[in-house]
Amino acid sequence: MKFSKLNSVILAGLIAIIGVIIMQLFLLNQAYTFEKKESEAKIFYALQDVVEKIHRDNNTLLPSANHVRKVNDSYFIANVNDVFENNILEHYLKNEFAKVKLDLDFEYAIYNCATDEMVYGNYIAADGKPKKKCENCFTKNSDLTYYFAVRFPKLQLSYFSSLQQYWLFTLVLFGVLIIYVYSVLLMLKQKHYTDLQRDFINNMTHEFKTPLSSILIASKYASSQDEITKNPKLSRYLNIIIEQSNKLNQHIEQILSLAKVESSQIQLQLEKINWLKTIELVEENIALKYPKKAVISYENKAITILADRFHFYNIIYNVIENAVKYANEKPEIEISWKENQSNYELQFLDNGQGIPEKDLPFIFDKFYRVSREDNKEIEGFGIGLSYVKKICQLHHWNVTIANTSNGLQITIRIPKKDIYE
């Protein structure tokens, strides 16, 4: 696959988003580790203080060995090495956990050396509501004699709940990644369909042109034969064939031109063009094509434009042809030049019915046609104004369309650097 600019942008965006997500996951892991260490430290300090208070109450010396052991992430053992009572232990546990602000559910059990088993103490809920006990969750430790065990059933959940902000940011980033990937897939799919459409149009038009050329050659040859010229009916039918073939050929050329513009295959050949000669040529061709006589008035200004001769002619022709096709019985098109501070405006004003406001935003879209009662009678594919806009964009010009009290006005704004008077 060709590594185009589009592919580069997509890849760069994907790498950037994945990089941000990896950084966020790294920060989330660090925050989780910190929260875990902080909670465990609180538990160790609280249980250590409980052991110290029991020895203080018994007036015994505190052993120098480690008193608190961690069995797993939520299970801890405190070696008292002295006798103590159940109710006093529970009181100390509540107070010490409250001091370090460890607002968690916990349950405890005490080892009974007489029966050699763990005796379940109580379940202390942070919210005061009764919870399901787990008396079988406490195991004996053969190395110790006087000890108690504390279990925190919801300790792991507390880590995740305390990191809600980090989880929210992470979910948002994953959402952005999913939307980005989905958008890219849609864009690539649309691009694929556009390429298929363009290739189909190009192949179709080229395939049409070959038999069409043969029809025109054969028809023109036949029209000069005596058998045809002497028969008015056959001559009229043959003229219809030639006329309709020429119209079809014009439509094919329009489609090909638009396809070339969209595929960026057009290379403009800029040269200085005489405005008056271009409009006179367009006027002659419009008069030959349309039986209803159009009145085209314009200023006799000797303006020279830097543009592509072929495509500039097509711009003017398409605009005027549209005005004639959709005009009343007596089309009138007024063309004028207006000089502004930074550009010249080439304005086309007709006496037609205008365009409904709901259709104006889409009038330059390819294949878009305004709904009219006479649509079936008016030829065209809705690509004329789309072609005009594309060519204006290639010239770095601006084209707009608006309804006026007299009809429809199309304005082409040309920078002053492209105008010579």
Same domain assignment for residues 152 and 197: no
Taking only the tens place, the pLDDT of each residue in 215-270 is: 878 888 788 888 878 888 888 888 878 877 776 777 677 666 666 666 556 678 89
- What pLDDT does residue 259 have? 64
b/e string for 21-60 if b means 16 or more Cβ within 10 A? eeebeeeeeebeeebbeebeebbbebbbbbbebbbeeeee
Same domain assignment for residues 222 and 237: yes
Q: Where are the beta strands (DSSP E) in 128-254?
A: 147-151
- What pLDDT does residue 206 have? 64
Domain enclosing residue 377, as ranges? 270-420
Same domain assignment for residues 78 and 36: yes
**Which residues pair with residue 119 across a beta bridge?**
110
Q: What are phi and psi of 226, to 5 degrees?
A: -60, -40
Instruction: Name the domain count of the chain.
Output: 3
- What pLDDT does residue 305 have? 92
pLDDT at 311 over 90: no
Average pLDDT over residues 18-22: 83
- Which residue, of 162, 185, 202, is where some domain finishes? 162
Same domain assignment for residues 142 and 168: no
CATH of the domain at 339: 3.30.565.10
Query: Which of 202-216, 305-319, 357-371 is the least confident region?
Result: 202-216
Same domain assignment for residues 222 and 295: no
Average pLDDT over residues 44-48: 90
Query: Are the C-beta atoms of 327 and 293 separated by less than 8 Å?
Result: no
Same domain assignment for residues 23 and 120: yes
Same domain assignment for residues 248 and 304: no
Same domain assignment for residues 277 and 394: yes
Rounded to whole angstroms, the Cα distance separating 258 from 264 reads 10
Taking only the tens place, the pLDDT of each residue in 127-151 is: 877 778 888 888 888 788 888 999 9
- Which residue, of 262, 292, 327, is where some domain finishes? 262
Percent of the chain surpassing pLDDT 70: 89
pLDDT, averaged across the chain: 82
Rounded to whole angstroms, the Cα distance separating 32 from 157 reads 11
Average pLDDT over residues 62-82: 84
- Which residue, of 162, 192, 207, is where some domain finishes? 162
pLDDT at 414 over 90: yes
Same domain assignment for residues 172 and 308: no
Average pLDDT over residues 265-276: 84
- What pLDDT does residue 1 have? 44
Rounded to whole angstroms, the Cα distance separating 380 from 374 reads 12
Same domain assignment for residues 279 and 253: no
Same domain assignment for residues 187 and 333: no
Rounded to whole angstroms, the Cα distance separating 126 from 272 reads 87
Would you place residue 377 in the very low, low, confident or very high pLDDT band (cuts 50, 70, 90)?
Answer: very low
Same domain assignment for residues 315 and 350: yes
pTM reported for the whole predicted model? 0.48
Rounded to whole angstroms, the Cα distance separating 179 from 254 reads 38
